[in-house]
Amino acid sequence: MKRLRLIFQLSIVAAAAFAGVRYALGKSLVSVETYCPFGGLETAWSFFTRRRFSCAAGETNLALFIALIVLTILARKAFCGWVCPAGALFEWEAKLARRVFKRRDFSGVWPVPAKVDRALKIGLRIAVLGLVLVATWKTGELVFRGYDPYYIVFSAHGHDVKAWSYLVLAALLGLGLVMPMAWCKYLCPLGAALWPASIAGRLRLARNEHHCTGCGACDKNCPQDLPVSRVKELTSGECTLCLECTAACPTPQALELRWSAVPRPKGKR
Ligand code: SF4
Ligand code: SF4
């Protein structure tokens, strides 16, 4: 699974880079933003209120966003761990930093206390999401382009990418070195939009207490720094189903993916 996911991520990163370069060279009319599901959310308000799409976003973006919500309800943030090219780059950076600086886990230089971590994941990301959506709906322009690491990296110096965009990207990569996956965990507006659906997501990791030895290898190898060994079932909306924890677990059957049934309302059992 680990190898399969890496092949998946590499293929998508290569495809996005190829599409970006072809568009930049004028050999294709399809920009990388056509494949961005977040563009669907950015344009949704404009589409439903004015029957007009925001700037370059269109039907494909909207369809991708709706499909992504369905996927997230089924398989949580699997999109982030298996498909998103920006997520792949930040994850590879986090793994490289862990190896170079010989860190035992993905908590980074300043491990963030659980309460602060939760406040940032909810508050900061929702603030970023709100800002981007309001600015987009008011201007009709995709104002986020110049700040979006996916667009900056894969558009091959696309429209709206300025010198300061590369400074933003450098700052995000610098932050990722000391605070692994900081973009995904605390700033990504798509991550914030998917969060409610991800919490409801049915495919979940479950820990079998009869087989688990409490070694903590799963915690140390989770790129999202989730406390896998301390819960029976991982209900966090941040799990990307990357399965790094199951790959690291030395005990067969201690961790398994489980389809969690929707809880029935009381009295209807
Ligand atoms: S809990 Fe496991 S599957 Fe979920 S993000 Fe962490 S390592 Fe990946
Ligand atoms: S790695 Fe496996 S055995 Fe070790 S604490 Fe996690 S689930 Fe338990």
Ligand 1 centroid–CA 118 distance in Å is 17
Q: What is the pLDDT of residue 33?
A: 84
Whole-structure pTM value: 0.90
Cβ–ligand 1 contact at 222 (below 6 Å): yes
Q: What is the pLDDT of residue 267?
A: 43
* Bigger pLDDT: 160 vs 71: 71
Ligand 2, atom nearest to 216 Cα: 5
pLDDT-based confidence at 175, cuts 50/70/90? very high
- Give the number of the ligand closest to the Cα of residue 227: 1
The protein residue with its alpha carbon nearest to ligand 1, atom 4, reads: 239
Q: For 25-40, what is the mean pLDDT?
A: 84
- Give the number of the ligand closest to the Cα of residue 210: 2
Q: What is the pLDDT of residue 186?
A: 95
Q: What is the pLDDT of residue 252?
A: 85
- Give the number of the ligand closest to the Cα of residue 253: 2
**Domains, the chain, ordered by start:** 2-198 (no CATH), 201-259 (3.30.70.20)
* Bigger pLDDT: 112 vs 15: 15
Which of 21-25, 59-63, 142-146, 265-269 is predicted least confidently? 265-269
Ligand 2 centroid–CA 74 distance in Å is 25
The pLDDT tens digits of the residues spanning 184-217 come to 999 999 999 999 999 998 999 999 999 999 999 9
Q: What is the pLDDT of residue 36?
A: 86
Report the percent of the chain where pLDDT is more than 90: 63
Write the DSSP string, 23-55: HHTTS-S--GGGG-HHHHHHHHHHHHHHS---T
Cβ–ligand 2 contact at 212 (below 6 Å): yes
Write the DSSP string, the chain: -HHHHHHHHHHHHHHHHHHHHHHHTTS-S--GGGG-HHHHHHHHHHHHHHS---TT--HHHHHHHHHHHHHHHHHTTHIIIII-HHHHHHHHHHHHHHHHTT-SSSS-SSPPPHHHHHHIIIIIHHHHHHHHHHHHHHHSS-TTGGG-HHHHHHTTS-TT--HHHHHHHHHHHHHHHHSTTHIIIII-HHHHHHHHHHHH-SEEEEE-TTT-----HHHHH-TT---GGG-SB---TT-----HHHHH-SSTTSEEEEEPPPPPPTT--
Cβ–ligand 2 contact at 57 (below 6 Å): no
Ligand 1, atom nearest to 255 Cα: 2
Q: What is the pLDDT of residue 269?
A: 35
Q: What is the pLDDT of residue 150?
A: 93
The protein residue with its alpha carbon nearest to ligand 2, atom 3, reads: 212
The pLDDT tens digits of the residues spanning 65-79 come to 999 999 999 999 999
